[in-house]
Amino acid sequence: MSAQEVISHDEVRRHQFDAVLHRKSNKTQGGLSAMRQKNSAANAAASKEYFQFWDDKKAEDETAEVRQERTDNYATITRQYYNLATDFYEYGFGQSFHFCRFAYGETFHRAIARHEHYIAHSMSIRKGMRVLDVGCGVGGPAREIVKFTGAHVTGLNLNEYQVQRATNYAAREGLSNLLDFVQGDFMKMPFPDNSFDAVYAIEATCHAPSLKGVYSEILRVLKPGGTFGVYEWLMTDAYDNDDLEHRRIRLDIEQGDGIPQMFTVAEGVSAIQDAGFELQHHEDLAVIGEASFAPWYWVIGTSLAYAQSLSDVVMVARMNRWGREVMHALFGALETVWLLPSGTRKTAESLGKAADALVEGGRRGLFTPMYLMVGRKPEVQEVQE
């Protein structure tokens, strides 16, 4: 066995925990069906481990030490967050866990696919290329980009449950020959230098403790001359950390979305350049332009005015504030009679709190989930002393 194949005691322990928690739910349809199959005691333990980093911590009491503790524990936070939240995401969003722009007459799922096509187009991904999807979720974007471009995509994900679900979905769609899914930490990727022709990340590297750190790892595994594209979650220039309302919005987003600490647009742009990329393009796609019909956050707001189909109406009805309150009450009742695992309602309420903060942050222009940056790895890198 090579040094790279040695499995640590902690990795074995995490694998055993996840096996107990999820049981056979990784092979079922996502959403409520998968939630019902979780081990209740393990779900409660995952909830306790996750929420310890936020419970009883308010915006006005936030300190550098509290934020550093979350940063130091980014891997635990990310892993347990998606252990708890994945089934909710599939219930609400389907298999692509991200926001997007909307054109007139465009349904939610068509807009989601176009957003995925857009980053692939911006990076000139094409057939025959070997591409890395950093933080691939359950593989929805990877499957769409494979179908759009014909490239081979490897998905990297810290969460074992999501890797299993992504692998199963790829097999179900007959795409296993063009898709691989690997479990690993994007701060120390399990790939050799210069492995991929292109790398993309869709609303995933926000979970990193350091944007420069994760971008540097991406640079390492990217071939010289290769392209990196990212839709990054960032606080805009309008955000003021000394404003307690602004800070509350940011903290609610972080708690409900498993983010150790949010960074600003200026920090994001500096990070990709400091990592060694030649920044070719950067733009906040959340700013409504002439071709936009609706704000990115409308699907989790309270209005049905932008719905373009019956499926949009159904989706928004269960994702907006009023629909969430009904579902939270139902989750609580089902949890009480042991039809859903312990901690389900608390997770749902945390996700709902984040959704409200995302809408508020979007309306005020304090936050963007789609700051597009496209960078190129130099053909010849400077030797750093």
Q: Per residue in 38-51, pLDDT tens?
A: 999 999 999 999 99
Across the range 312-325, mean pLDDT stands at 83
State what percent of residues in the chain have pLDDT above 70.
96
The mean pLDDT of the chain is: 92
Whether residue 260 is predicted with pLDDT greater than 50 in this model: the reply is yes
Q: How far is CA 110 from CA 89, 96, 138, 280, in A?
A: 18, 12, 18, 27
pLDDT tens digits along 233-252: 999 999 999 999 999 999 99
- Write the burial class of residue 109 (CB in 10 Å: 0-12 exposed, 13-18 middle, 19+ buried): middle
3-state secondary structure at position 229: strand
Whether residue 385 is predicted with pLDDT greater than 80 in this model: the reply is no
Whether residue 199 is predicted with pLDDT greater than 50 in this model: the reply is yes
Whether residue 275 is predicted with pLDDT greater than 70 in this model: the reply is yes
Whether residue 200 is predicted with pLDDT greater than 80 in this model: the reply is yes
What is the Cα 109 distance to its own chain's centre?
Answer: 17
pLDDT tens digits along 325-383: 888 888 999 999 999 999 999 999 999 999 999 999 999 999 999 999 999 999 976 54
Cβ pair 249, 357 in contact under 8 A: yes
* pLDDT at residue number 157: 98
Architecture of domain 7-378: 3-Layer(aba) Sandwich (3.40)
φ and ψ of 376, to 5 deg: -120, 135
What confidence category does residue 92 fall into, taking pLDDT thresholds of 50, 70 and 90?
confident
* pLDDT at residue number 12: 87
Helices in the chain by DSSP H: which ranges?
9-22, 32-35, 40-51, 64-72, 74-93, 108-122, 140-149, 160-172, 211-221, 244-257, 265-274, 310-319, 321-336, 344-363
Other C-beta atoms closer than 10 Å to the C-beta of 65 total 7
Whether residue 27 is predicted with pLDDT greater than 90 in this model: the reply is no
3-state secondary structure at position 134: strand
In the structure encoding, which two tokens stand for residue 214, read together?
Answer: 């994760």
Whether residue 4 is predicted with pLDDT greater than 60 in this model: the reply is no
Whether residue 2 is predicted with pLDDT greater than 50 in this model: the reply is no
Segment among 56-65, 170-179, 369-378 with least mean pLDDT: 56-65
* Beta pairing class for 367-376 and 222-235: antiparallel
What confidence category does residue 289 fall into, taking pLDDT thresholds of 50, 70 and 90?
low
Q: How far is CA 272 from CA 255, 284, 384, in A?
A: 25, 15, 16
* pLDDT at residue number 320: 79
* Beta pairing class for 196-202 and 130-134: parallel
Segment among 86-95, 115-124, 222-231 with least mean pLDDT: 86-95
Using a cut of 0.75, tell me whether the model's pTM lies above it: yes
Locate the domains of the chain by residue range: 7-378
Q: How far is CA 98 from CA 227, 232, 243, in A?
A: 21, 11, 27
State what percent of residues in the chain have pLDDT above 90.
78
Other C-beta atoms closer than 10 Å to the C-beta of 12 total 10
